[in-house]
Amino acid sequence: MTIHAKIGLLLVALIACFSYAHADERMFHCEFGIEGGFGYYIGDAESLPFKNIREMYGANFRYKFTPRWSLQVKGIMHHIHGTYKLGTDFGEPISGTWSNQLVNLDVAAEYNFFRFGMNSYDRRVKPITPYILLGVGVCLHDKFHKIAAYMPFGVGVKWKFAPRWNLQLVWQNNLYFTDKLEAIPELDDRYSLNGTNVFNCDITGTISLGLTFEFAKEKKICRMCQR
């Protein structure tokens, strides 16, 4: 066999392998990744978002049921802080600073507005999609001595820039079922409304950028077995 024939066979083999890999566009069911960004707090000590922002970071695991529906488990660490000023009976206000370290763990259902993936045969599948999320979570705070439940909700955008790699930008807010995230008696449940008005509860928000890697590819469909 001549050298030209060997080169030709090698090229044919490479093209065949590439074509097979490109045609194998089965969905990966699982993702694991990291994320980081910044967060803020809204409560008795601060009524406006995006003030006193601090860094946040964490990791997440996602299981995809379909190209549109998935379930995400996420854990993050987030430090909140701020200043306060309280009036007294003597007319001299009391001012100071406060801070609290939060460790959040939540489970949220996600819905993609488009079929998310990288498939050249189905034009309904898009590599970029906006999505929404809603779930439940728990938070450790006040030097890990207290536990608070919350409801996470938010919006985001996903981008599949490679067959097994994704980027996501998400704005998530956590509505707590407590008014005690400040961890200061003068601010915790300041107006004795905790439990009677959900709009009096504390809220934290985060804006983060995440990178995830996909694994656990779905099984092949045996077409002969379906006959």
Residue 101 covered by a domain = yes
Residue 82 covered by a domain = yes
Q: Does the structure show a pLDDT above 60 at 18?
A: no
Domain range for 98: 27-217
Determine the pLDDT at residue 226.
Answer: 46
Determine the pLDDT at residue 96.
Answer: 75
Residue 2 covered by a domain = no
Residue 114 covered by a domain = yes
Determine the pLDDT at residue 52.
Answer: 84
Domain CATH code at residue 112: 2.40.160.20
Residue 157 token pair? 């955008």
Confidence label for 214 from pLDDT (cuts 50, 70 and 90): very high
Residue 191 covered by a domain = yes
Determine the pLDDT at residue 65.
Answer: 94
Structural domain count, the chain: 1
Residue 16 covered by a domain = no
R_g of the chain, CA atoms, integer Å: 25
In angstroms, the Cα distances linking 186 to 40, 53, 160 are 20, 22, 47
> Which one is predicted more confidently, 125 or 37?
37
Residue 223 covered by a domain = no
Q: Does the structure show a pLDDT above 90 at 63?
A: yes
Q: Is the pTM of this model over 0.85?
A: no
Residue 121 covered by a domain = yes
